[in-house]
Structure 1
C-alpha cells in the first residue's frame, strides 16, 4: 500500500496543473496592475486613504456574499461564479477606458483601483483556499512553493506583456487579454476540483453561517494571529507603497514614465520571489518547517526599514543605475511576502477545518488586509502633513516589523492547528460522519 501511495504521488499531475493555473491567474492580474499603479503615482500618497477606504467598503459588502456562496453551493459553482464575475468586470471596463478622456483619469483611476484591488484579493485568496482543500499539510510543504513559482512566472510575464502590447494595441484591449487569461485559469481549476473531489466530500457545500469568517477570527487563535500578522506585515508593504507613490509623483512626470517605473518594480519583485521559491523557501519548508519561513521575511523587513531609516530618499548605485532606497524596500518586502510568506502561511491553512480555509482565510485576506491599508495610509498621510521625515516614518515601521516577527512564530505554532500526520484523515472522517448524520436526518 505504501509503495502504491508513493507511486500515485509521483504521477499526480495536480501540482503541475495548479502551478499552470496560478500562472494564468497572476498573468491576468499583472497585465492590468501597472495601469492601476501609475494612476496612484499620478496623485501621490495623500489620495491613498480615500482609495483604500473605498476598497475596504467593497470588501465588507462582498464578504457576506462570498460567505453565502461557500455555505450554500458546491466548490465548483463558487469557482465558476466568482471567476466569471471578475471576467465580466474586466470586459465592462473596456468601454470605460476607451472613453477615458471624457470620463477623466482621476475618476476612472479611483474606480479601476478599487476593482483591481478587489480582483486581486478575491481571485488569489480563492485559489489558495482551493489548494488548501486538495492538498494535505505534508504535501503542501513540498509543492506550495513550486505552485507559487508558477504564479511568479505569470507575474513576470504579465508586466512584460503589458509593456509590449500597450504600445501596439493600447490600454483598453489589454483588459480583454487579461479576461482570457483568467478564463483559462478557471478551466484548469475546475479540472483540478473535479479530479480531487471524486473520493472526498470536498466538493460539497461547506455550510455554516454567512459570517463564520468573522466569528472564527475571534474564536480561533491561529486566525487571530494571522489577522494581526496581516495587519503588521502588510502594513510594512503598504508603507513602502505609499512612500514610493510620493517618490513617483515628485520625480516622474509622464504617465508612461510612471507605468514603466512600476512595471520595473513588479519585474524586480517577482524575480526575487521566483529566486526565493526556487532556492530558500522550499528548503526551509521541507527541511526546517514552517516557523522559519514565517519569521524570516519579517526580519528582512526589519533590516530594510533600518536601511531606509538611515538613508531616507538616498539612492544606491546598482549596475550603473541610481536605485532609490524606497524602491529597494518595496521590492524586498513584496518579494519576500510573495516568495516566502505566502507559501508558508497557505501551507498552515491545510491544518484547519474547511470552513476556516474558505471563510476565515478569505476574511483575513480581504477585509482585514484592506482595513490595515486604510489605517496605515491614513496614518502616513497625517504624518507627512505634520512634516515627519521618511526616516522617522521608517522608524515606526521598525517597531511594527519586530512585533510581526513574534506574531509570525506564534501563528506557525498555534495550538489549534491540527497535527500534520492526522489532520486530513481526521477531517475526512469527520466529514463522512457529518454526511451520514445529514443523510439519516433527511431519511
Structure 2
C-alpha cells in the first residue's frame, strides 16, 4: 500500500533525528525542558494561523508540497550548525533543534494523518489505518537502527541529510496519491474558511474538546516519563554518542512494541470492538506502568542478565501504546468530522494544545524535583492523570457531534454506531 510506504518514510525521517534531539536534552537534564517546550509552544502559536491560512487557500497537493519541502530545506540548512556544535554549545543548539524537531514532528505527522482522513471514509479507515500505522512503525524501527549504525561511522551532522532524503521520498509518494485522487475528482479544492478556525472549533465542538483534554492528559504522562528519563541520562551517560545510542534503543523498543500491537490487538479492536476500546485500553496500560514506578522508583528489572531501568520501561510502554493503538484510533475518529476540522481543528489540538501541555507539565515536574519530591511521588500524579484519561477517552469516542459510523459493526458500542 502506497500510503503505508509513505508513512514508513515519514517516520524513518523523524526517528533518524529524534535521538539527535534527545541527546541534546539529555545533555542538560530536565531542568531545561520547560525552556525547550515554552519556546516550542510559542512557535506553535505563531505557526497555527499560518497553517490555517495555507489550508484555507491551497489544495491539499500544494499544501503537502510546500510544507514538506520547507522541512526538507530546513534539515539541510541545520547541518552546518551540528558541525559547529562544540562552539555553539549543547544548550543553545538544544533549544533551536529541540523546537525545530518538535515542530517537524507535529506538523509533518499531523498533516499526513489529516490527508489520510481526507482520503478514506470511516469504514475504510478502520480497515486500513492500523496497516498504515504499521508502515510508520516499521519506519520508526528502521530510523533508530540507522542512527545507531551510522552515528559511529559518519557522525551526527550527516544524519540530517539522510533524514531529508527519506522525507523527500515520502513527499513523492503522497503527491502520487493526491494526483490519483484528483483524477477521480476527490478533494482537490481548498478547504477554505477562517485561518483561526482551529481555535474556534476547539470551543464549539464537543469532540475536539474531549480530544484536547485527552491530549493534555496523555501528554502529561508522556512528558513525565521523558523528563525523568532525561535526568537518568544526564546522571549516567556523559558522552553525546552514548546518550544518542541510549535514546535510539528506547525508540527501537518503543516502536517494536507498536509494531506488535499493530499486528495483534489494534486492528482487531478497531474492526471488532470499535474505536472506544482502542482509545481506552492504552490509558489503562499507562495506569499500570505508573503504579509500577510509584513502588519501584529508580529501580531496574533484570531481563536476561541486563538491568533495564523501570523509568525506561515506562517510557517504552506509554509511547508504544500511544503510537501503536491510540493514534490509529483517534485518527480514525477524524474521518467522521468535516474537512475543516480534519485539518485545522486536528492540527491545533495536535500542535498548540500538545505543546501547551508540555510547558505546564515540564514546569511542574521541574519544580517538584527542585523541591526534593521523589520519582514515586511524581509518578503518583501520573496515576491520577491516567485514571481521568480513561474516562475522557470513552467520552471522546462517543461524542454526539461525530458523524454516524459507516459500516458500523454490530459489536460496536451504541454511541459509536448511531450518534451523529
Fold-level match, TM-score > 0.5?
yes
- Equivalent position of 1:129 in the other structure: 114
Residue 360 of structure 1, aligned match among 345, 366, 369: 345
Q: Distance in 2 between matches of 1:350 and 1:186?
A: 22
Q: Distance in 2 between matches of 1:415 and 1:319?
A: 49
Please report how far the alpha carbon of residue 100 of structure 1 lies from its aligned counterpart in structure 2 after TM superposition.
1.7
How many residues align? The count is 408
- Equivalent position of 2:81 in the other structure: 96
- Equivalent position of 2:396 in the other structure: 411
Q: Distance in 2 between matches of 1:42 and 1:355?
A: 41
Q: Distance in 1 between matches of 2:264 and 2:352?
A: 32
1:395 corresponds to 2:392? no
Contact 2:28/2:90 (8 A) holds in 1: no
Residue 10 of structure 2, aligned match among 22, 25, 48: 25
- Equivalent position of 1:384 in the other structure: 369
1:154 corresponds to 2:139? yes
Per-residue deviation, residues 323-345 of structure 1 (Å, max 9, x unmatched): 11111100000000000000000
1:176 corresponds to 2:193? no
Per-residue deviation, residues 182-205 of structure 1 (Å, max 9, x unmatched): 001001001111212333451110
SS in 2 for 1:197: helix
Per-residue deviation, residues 209-236 of structure 1 (Å, max 9, x unmatched): 0000000000000000000000001210
Q: Distance in 2 between matches of 1:116 and 1:163?
A: 18
1:35 corresponds to 2:24? no
Per-residue deviation, residues 409-430 of structure 1 (Å, max 9, x unmatched): 000000000002299xxxxxxx
Please, which runs of 5 or more residues in structure 2 have no aligned partner? 409-420
Rate the CA distance shift 1:422–1:208 in 2: closer, same or farther, 3 A. farther
Please, which runs of 5 or more residues in structure 1 have no aligned partner? 1-15, 424-443
- Equivalent position of 1:57 in the other structure: 42
- Equivalent position of 1:13 in the other structure: none
TM-score by length of 1: 0.91
- Equivalent position of 1:9 in the other structure: none
Q: Distance in 2 between matches of 1:337 and 1:197?
A: 32
Per-residue deviation, residues 345-386 of structure 1 (Å, max 9, x unmatched): 000000000000000000001000000000000000011111
Q: Distance in 1 between matches of 2:186 and 2:242?
A: 51
- Equivalent position of 1:259 in the other structure: 244
Per-residue deviation, residues 12-70 of structure 1 (Å, max 9, x unmatched): xxxx1000000000100111111110110111111000000000001111111100000
- Equivalent position of 1:298 in the other structure: 283
